[in-house]
Structure 1
Amino acid sequence: MTVREADAPAGLRALAAAMDVYKRVVTAPGMARSNPVRRSGFDLDVVVRAVHAEAADVISLTLERPGGERLPSWRPGSHLDVFLPSGRQRQYSLCGYPSDRRRYRIAVRRIADGDGGSVEMHGLRPGDTLRIRGPRNAFTFVENAPSYLFLAAGIGITPILPMVRAAGSRGRLVYLGRRRETMPFLDELPARADIRTDDEAGPHDIAGILATAKPGAAVYVCGPPPVLEAAQRSLFVINPTASLHTERFSALPVTGGHDFDITLARTGISVRAGSTETALEAIRRVKPDVVYSCRQGFCGTCRIRVLAGEVDHRDRLLTDGDRAGHMLTCVSRADGDALVLDL
């Protein structure tokens, strides 16, 4: 929807006027700034070398450089952005060995009623090519903890698996799943791993599991939202000396939001962001190629300059100084009725 002065209220007409001046002065040929790009990680083309069935509806994919060159190094907890042939962009944890610089391994659970990304990944075959970005780490493994408790649920084992190897005898793994046949990488776990399934043990006592963490332990939890929420509610009550580290595989839900208008200054296009959607989701409806990655407010890939309007900052990255005139569109919103962005 294009802003039309005749239909717009006074506030938006003022924003539109400011936008017109901006386009004439700042976005003139040779003066326009390029879209923000990530400041860490790498963009690479890779080949799918192998596809293996790891469990019911779970496959692993081994990725290599076409010429066999070494891949960027990574640490436990790292993930890749994967750009699919359809244009979809997804994030997958690296679950191989950091010492192996010739190949990456990721795992994907097929979600039949999802938005199509996992189904497309399951359609890949050896020889197919992909574009990847990364590795990047937002789930950092603390190497000097006195002890570790790892709690993985379902596909949440993927970032946890390299951590378990790195922790060695200092770590304890509790791995939850519906049934053993749905749980990938069982044959790669240490002998002392505690495997608990719904069909064998019934509902899982998350608080009881966390109570086994030693004083000062680093506790890592990865799984569906109910598991993460239970850990966040109970760990520090049970063990106030522990540290909690979590990772989720989906964007945070929008809460306490309201509708607002976003104007993209470089084109003059305006779009309405709903109360339950992110600014990024609204922008992608009119600019599908806008850059983004984590969708959780920690990586900074979607950082954009704000030309007009107040921002409700909800990110975990920007400093107070950075927030003066910038926002992360994947989580932050307007603290008013409208924003004008440098897009």
Structure 2
Amino acid sequence: MTENYTALYEEHKKAGASFTDFGGWQMPLKYSSELAEHHAVRQSAGLFDLSHMGEVWVTGPEAAAFLDYALVGKISAMSVGKAKYSLICQEDGGIIDDLITYRRGDSRFLVVPNAGNAKVVAEALAQRARSGKDGGFDVAVEDASAATSLIAVQGPKAEEILLRLVPAEQHALVTGLKYYAAVEVPFTFAGNTAELLLARTGYTGEDGFEIFVDNDAAAALWQAIEAVAEEGELIPAGLASRDSLRLEAGMPLYGNELSREGNPFSAGLGPVVSLAKESDFVGRAALEALKAGGAGSTSGRKLVGLKGLGRRAGRSHYPVLKDGVVVGEVTSGQPSPTLGYPIALAYVDVEHAEPGTALDVDLRGKAELFEVVALPFYKRVK
């Protein structure tokens, strides 16, 4: 697999990061202690490089109608300045990727797919733009991933830290920004002021922000954020802590909980699918049939949360048992640093998916008791 390096790679090396391959990118796994990074995000703030994510611009007079066709959500109903979580599905309802779409104008949208799927999603959008209706849609699809970096500041002190880089008269742009919304904000760093797209989104279960910046300015912005943070207020955080944070928040990971073989209803993402919108969209017929057949509610398997009643954690692909019979499989699992007990996400047969149900996870030949619980495992106090 080709190795890609973000514009912040040298910053991570200087900070002593341990690297891992993720979606073809060399990304920081951790800097010193993944537990320390996890707790920093829960208690103060963590600084993340998300530049492996994709950025695809969809523009043109039919952009809103096109995204209604290409994605399962009703993107046209979104107000300018807002963001929406959605899915891009195959004709058979299988999930190609989960993604966030930001509406930046009446006919201008930014679609952010996951790292390993960025190229696939960009190509799928371009293909659907050409073939979606007679003559195609009047839109342009531009993959800007290679030129764009994405930096996240996540945690209860994220807003306080970022305000130090924003002129006082513009502070209201940050403090007034709602969850799943984005705005252009002037940031002052490296002796200059630049308008950057700031989104109040994240993948940690905490308050936080994601900042889109051109590659050539990414390192300077990263350094500036570190410089304005007070001692013990913020540390760089890698993929290991990001994974434990998102798991506590009950957020799915593509390749674990989401895949082309799965479907939105079994994954608990039925509300993301807008079968009420009048227009056709890719996968509509299959998703209507899946919903009518009770996928994830009365038939098949359903994604659930599992709380360990012992000390040992279930891991991805471990079998889930009921009375010694396999009834499911763990997709993600580890000890929860915040809660102090093992947690896991798993697909289990729907008849065993009710909260309170006792199940076992086969931990390499030994059954360990778990209980089905409602998601998320962790929810921040606002």
Computing the radius of gyration from Cα coordinates, the structure with the larger value is 1
Which structure features the higher share of helix residues? 2
TM-score normalized with structure 1 length:
0.32
Q: Which fold has the larger relative contact order, with Cα–Cα distance below 8 Å and residues 6 or more apart in sequence?
A: 2
